[in-house]
Amino acid sequence: MKLLLSLIVLLCSLSIALPVFAGMPVDSELLSSLLAEAEIHNPALQSAREALDVAASQIDQVSALPDPMLSISLMNYPIDTLRNDKTAMTGNDFKLSQMFPFPGKLATKKELAHQHELWAKAKYEDLVLQVRQQIRDTWFKLSFQRQAIGLIQTNMKLMDDFIRLTEARYQVGKGLQQNVLKAQVERSRLLDRLLGLQQDAENSKARINSLVGRPTEQSLADIDEPVEVSYTPSLENLRKLARQNRPMFGAFDALIGQSEQKGKLAKLDYRPDFTVWAGYRFRADDLPDKGTDFVSGGVSLNLPFPNAKRRAAVREADASLRMAHQQRNEFTRQVDLALHNGLTDLQQAQQLVKLYRGGIIPQAEQTYKATLSAYQVDKVDFLTLTDSLMTVYRFRIDLARAESDVQRSAARLLATTGLDDIAQSISPSLDR
């Protein structure tokens, strides 16, 4: 009887107290530190930064003049004597030449390289958003997993008390063996789910460490419960934000710019390049004319006939430009679809949170309390009481999952719109 009374007191004390969230969602201190650490140590971001450095270093290379050419020649030596004082034409020539591309070519190449740098920079910035979104997504998933683990562990302690109670009642002939078996089965099911959640939480922790650039087995501090996202922005506003802030839109603009510069350069290739040169001939002093030295100079140019190679280059540039526009259009379509799906997921998760808090869980609590009262006066059996309690705990886990889904959906919307400040992104000011 004492065990029964203590159990009833314990059950009554476990009336579900739903957490009350207030304020706008913000990254916790630990999450903020992980995001900052990832920008430095994430391998993919490190590689993208190197690619950006490569692109930036190409600008000065392609915009520089070709190296000047210096040539030294031994001119018009007679084959019978190989002496330089026999004929007036013999001499030693030094020639310096410099090629100058047709005006506009170097500037176009420089702009082409600059657009490539803009492309690399925008891709890096977008990758930063994606990595941060992956960390947030896994973070909130881990938050749910740890909450669910805590709930199941608490429930298992209750089941242990149930098992002791049912065994005691069965031994004195006041209970049924099936109550003992039912309690043991429920505990085994809880243990199975606990082991699965613990494995999932370990995988989530390893993924966060990997994204941050840490060893996967490194420990991770406790995670705060997520703060409620109570405001839902409009789809139209999200699209506007994405056009304004998503770095990949700038990347595709840069890709279009590259294609335009390629077309301009292909057309400029029909124009000749010029080579300016100057020469000096040293002659022997004992020649009949006293070996007066010669100087010479001139300009040469290539003859860029409109051959198949140049026509193909122009066609390639035109096709690249059309492809770049189509790629931007396709990316726009994908972003709009992702925003639509993400907003739908957010709204659904928010509705589930409200439903669990305002309806399902309070009703399940009332049912459990009524069942507990009835059980105390032997109006319901033990199996009904157990099922009632398990139902409450399942709904509590479902609520934790829905709260996590809200945060994960908001994080996906952040990355899709190109914003990285949660309080800024999910704010009524966006719809003004």
Model pLDDT for residues 86-96, shown as the tens digit of each residue: 787 888 999 99
Q: Which of these three, 260, 282, 305, is where a domain ends? A: 305
> Do residues 233 and 282 both lie within one domain?
no
CB atoms within 10 A of CB 259: 22
Question: What span, in angstroms and rounded, lies between the C-alpha atoms of 107 and 118?
Answer: 16
pLDDT score at 256 = 94
Please choose, from the candidates 65, 101, 109, the residue with its C-alpha nearest in 3D space to the C-alpha of residue 273: 101
Model pLDDT for residues 11-56, shown as the tens digit of each residue: 444 443 333 322 334 557 788 888 888 889 999 999 999 999 999 9
> Do residues 147 and 176 both lie within one domain?
yes
Q: Which of these three, 257, 287, 305, is where a domain ends? A: 305
> Do residues 116 and 95 both lie within one domain?
no
pTM, to two decimals: 0.78
Highest mean pLDDT, choosing among 151-165, 215-229, 371-385: 151-165
> Do residues 39 and 73 both lie within one domain?
no
Distance, first Cα to last Cα, the chain: 64
| 79 — pLDDT class (breaks 50, 70, 90) | confident
Please choose, from the candidates 409, 420, 425, the residue with its C-alpha nearest in 3D space to the C-alpha of residue 344: 409
CATH number at residue 112: 1.20.1600.10
CB 388 within 8 A of CB 368: yes
> Do residues 286 and 341 both lie within one domain?
no
> Do residues 290 and 399 both lie within one domain?
no
CATH number at residue 83: 2.20.200
Q: Kindly list the distances between the CA atom of residue 324 and the CA atoms of 121, 181, 265, in Å, as whole numbers in the listed order.
A: 17, 67, 17
> Do residues 155 and 282 both lie within one domain?
no
> Do residues 215 and 203 both lie within one domain?
yes
**In terms of pLDDT, which residue wins out, 137 or 288?**
137
Beta bridge mates, 74: 92
Domain encompassing residue 84 = 66-100+272-305
Instruction: Give mean pLDDT, residues 47-69.
Output: 92
The answer to which of 264-278, 334-348, 366-380 has the lowest mean pLDDT is 366-380
Please choose, from the candidates 18, 21, 17, the residue with its C-alpha nearest in 3D space to the C-alpha of residue 227: 21
> Do residues 74 and 163 both lie within one domain?
no
> Do residues 156 and 205 both lie within one domain?
yes
Cα dihedral value 124, 129, 134, 137, nearest 10: 180
Beta bridge mates, 296: 279
> Do residues 127 and 203 both lie within one domain?
yes
Instruction: Give mean pLDDT, residues 168-186.
Output: 67
> Do residues 167 and 94 both lie within one domain?
no
The answer on pLDDT for 219 being more than 70 is yes
User: In the chain, how many domains are there?
Assistant: 2
| 177 — pLDDT class (breaks 50, 70, 90) | low
Question: What span, in angstroms and rounded, lies between the C-alpha atoms of 264 and 260?
Answer: 6
pLDDT score at 29 = 77
Q: Which of these three, 283, 305, 327, is where a domain ends? A: 305
